[in-house]
Structure 1
Amino acid sequence: MSTDAHPTPEGAQSGRGRAPDTEWRSWHARRLETITAPYGPLSLTGTHWLDDHPDGRIPAVPGVWVQDGEEIVLTAAAADGLTHDGELLSGSVRLTAHHGPIPESPLAHGDRRLVVLRREGLRAVRDFDPHAAARSAFQGIEATPYDPRWALPGRFRPYPEQLSVRVRSADGRERGLGLSGEVVFAYDGAERTLRAVVEGDGSLGIVFADATSGDTSYRFRFLRPFAPAADGTVTVDLNRALLPPCAFAGHFICPFPPPGNTLGFAVPAGERRLIGG
């Protein structure tokens, strides 16, 4: 699943063994470091879909970008100032989707990092600028301090095979969202379920909303529980509810919660919304 669906590993739970409230504070500090990093989500200034630019010219980005099968052919002159693998680009280069850390993207324009994105057969160019206005305007994340009542025991029930459902994304388009199973837990005397995907590291990825969404919390949030134990048991720690990348920059294409992932009760825990937002 894409990083627009779930945060990078810094957003996952880690460092078991310490007191939960101590670990939560460390987790929150790491989150802030990730968010405010030069090429963190606040630095995304554009996601440019090539289908929207049939002539290959993206107004905000130098060069000519043309999709050719699974690749993009970028043609640029030295005067465009683009570099590839640290060398000034003069001519053409073939590019594939970049899945690594943003600072390691081979394509740059000054301090900016340009990243090729692939979604459902379509290609886009993302522009990460450490001088983005959102970085300097950022005031912090409103987050509720750790409360043990929101660390709930649960169980992961995998589906016989992965499902794909169509959900609306933050950019208004509908896309497929893969689901591997559901997490079952009890709250207020009733069984609750949240549909999830198993991430590459074994952790679970959940997109959910609750009774605070769009009011005292952002309109939806993410959750990254640890990998379930061999018997399927897992902790649903809502203290680790995360703001999605699109809360920090409107150019992300985060999926909305799939059917069944809107909780009917309030979750006043975890990351809630941007301060001053």
Structure 2
Amino acid sequence: MKFQILDIIPHLKNPVTGEIVSTADRLNQVVQTAPPSPRTTTSTGAILPVSTPTETDTFAAAWEDWHAAHEQHRAHPHGFLAVTHLHWLDGQAARLDGAPGTWSVENDVVSVVLEPGESLLRDGRELNTAAGATLEFGPIEERGGINLVSGNTVIELAKRGGSYIVRPRNPENGLLRSYRGTPSYAPDAAFAVTGTFVPFEVPRPTTVGAAVEGIQHVYEAPGEIRFQLAGQEFALTAFNGHAPGTLSVLFTDATSGKTTYAANRSLTVVPAADGTVRLDFNRAINLPCAYTDLATCPLPPAENRLPVAIEAGEKIPYERQEQQ
């Protein structure tokens, strides 16, 4: 079974129509808009980009467009900044803060019993609201999920690490209302390099830790990306991306915990038919766990801990800086 990184960019639906409103696919497809820069080799063998003023301006403008679109997506009214609670379901029936009804799970089926006056919608359709009626959902595949709606709140029901979770998402959440953008390094063409995707003979199931203690994630790694940076050779294990034809790379580097978020950053790449990939670390993004403790984001595999400083991409969010 193939798993995809779905927590990195939420996959949401319009609360009324059920229409997908996530811009994940569009964002994944625009990760490589700037052309490769001319390069030269120093006396030490290091490969450095040589950019004219016009090329530099074009590169920066493309990054600004991408960054603006990504920030707009991140601030979606029902995105991860809107998550108010993280509930782990078990066999004990319980009412959950931020969600209507009494919830429980048994034999891979989630049950919800609504009280008079409570309601839930799915794909724009109101579900049975008779007092005492039991609504059932599942089974849900690992890393899968569905979205229910109650008023202006989206209720995410998902499966993570073998357990069912409920995460209400409300546009009035303080984290979303106070969000003022994410600091980033200025775009630098030196951190946009060309590499090669080398597929494994057989895709490798890869187990990684999570931002939440006690659970693990398993992803299918179809191969690795080999590249050079500052005269050194590196390889990064790649997972299947959210959009078809994309790969997702989780990594840390020498800036992690200093100027960038300690646990992880993510980069989406699109390999060409011949395996050529463009790794533009200027577009390395934070995962939801960089902003909230209510996320279950995966950690990078051990081999993706780069010993060099990637001074590009998103930095530690203001929200985390204020907690330090």
Q: In the superposition, relative to structure 1, how do residues 2 and 92 fare at CA in structure 2: closer, same or farther (>3 Å)?
A: farther
Q: What TM-score do the two structures reach when normalised by structure 2?
A: 0.76
Q: 1:42 aligns with which of 81, 93, 96?
A: 81
Structure-2 residue corresponding to 1:143: 184
For the pair 1:25 / 2:41, whether they are aligned, the reply is: no
1:212 maps to a residue whose letter is T
Structure-2 residue corresponding to 1:62: 100
Structure-2 residue corresponding to 1:156: 197
For the pair 1:243 / 2:286, whether they are aligned, the reply is: yes
Q: Contact (CA 8 Å) 1:98, 1:116: kept in 2 or not? A: no
Q: How many residues align?
A: 271
Q: 1:14 aligns with which of 26, 30, 33?
A: 30
For the pair 1:171 / 2:194, whether they are aligned, the reply is: no
Between the aligned partners of 1:221 and 1:213, the Cα distance in structure 2 is: 9
Structure 2, gaps ≥5 residues long: 11-23, 35-57
**1:95 Cα deviation after fit:** 2.0
Query: Map of 1:74-223 to 2, 5 A cutoff?
Result: 74-84=112-122, 85-87=124-126, 89-90=129-130, 91-96=133-138, 97=140, 105=147, 107-178=148-219, 179-199=221-241, 200-219=243-262, 220-223=264-267
Q: In the superposition, relative to structure 1, how do residues 12 and 83 fare at CA in structure 2: closer, same or farther (>3 Å)?
A: closer
Q: In the superposition, relative to structure 1, how do residues 261 and 6 fare at CA in structure 2: closer, same or farther (>3 Å)?
A: farther
Q: What TM-score do the two structures reach when normalised by structure 1?
A: 0.88
Q: Contact (CA 8 Å) 1:6, 1:205: kept in 2 or not? A: no
Between the aligned partners of 1:5 and 1:161, the Cα distance in structure 2 is: 25
Deviations 1:48-105 (A, max 9, x none): 1113x62243344331223244432221123334445443623222224499xx9x93
Q: Contact (CA 8 Å) 1:44, 1:127: kept in 2 or not? A: yes
Structure-2 residue corresponding to 1:3: 6
Between the aligned partners of 2:175 and 2:304, the Cα distance in structure 1 is: 30
Question: Tell me, what secondary structure is at the counterpart of 1:141?
Answer: coil
Looking at secondary structure, tell me which structure has more strand per residue. 1
Q: In the superposition, relative to structure 1, how do residues 16 and 237 fare at CA in structure 2: closer, same or farther (>3 Å)?
A: closer
Q: In the superposition, relative to structure 1, how do residues 17 and 182 fare at CA in structure 2: closer, same or farther (>3 Å)?
A: closer
Question: Tell me, what secondary structure is at the counterpart of 1:79?
Answer: coil
Q: In the superposition, relative to structure 1, how do residues 42 and 6 fare at CA in structure 2: closer, same or farther (>3 Å)?
A: closer
Q: Contact (CA 8 Å) 1:243, 1:271: kept in 2 or not? A: yes
Deviations 1:86-125 (A, max 9, x none): 43623222224499xx9x93x2222111011012432111
Structure 1, gaps ≥5 residues long: none
Deviations 1:191-220 (A, max 9, x none): 101111122411111110000001111112
Between the aligned partners of 1:180 and 1:156, the Cα distance in structure 2 is: 9
Identity %: 30
**1:172 Cα deviation after fit:** 1.4
Question: Tell me, what secondary structure is at the counterpart of 2:258?
Answer: coil
Q: In the superposition, relative to structure 1, how do residues 31 and 23 fare at CA in structure 2: closer, same or farther (>3 Å)?
A: same
1:26 maps to a residue whose letter is D
